Amino acid sequence: DESLAVKPQIVVFNKIDLPEVRDLWSEYKKIFAQRGHEVIAISAATGENVQDVLYQAWQKL
């Protein structure tokens, strides 16, 4: 559906608590930024940045 392209989006990168994922984070952040996307890294397990995602969702809605 083409209308989805104009809706606000939040890209969330989960499992940032894992060392191998944290190592990849900066590269993925660059890739998404080059494409014009804001991206937030979170850990659902530890709660890291989960509040930030909720706040961003609240702001965009």
Number of separate domains in the chain: 1
Tens of each residue's pLDDT in the chain, 61 residues:
888 888 888 899 999 999 999 999 999 999 999 998 889 999 999 999 999 999 999 998 7
State residue 25's pLDDT score.
Answer: 93
State residue 4's pLDDT score.
Answer: 82
Domain residues for the domain of 30 are: 2-60
Distance CA 4, CA 46 (A): 31
Classify residue 10 as exposed, middle or buried by CB count within 10 Å of its CB (0-12, 13-18, 19+). Answer: middle
State residue 51's pLDDT score.
Answer: 97
State residue 1's pLDDT score.
Answer: 80
State residue 17's pLDDT score.
Answer: 96
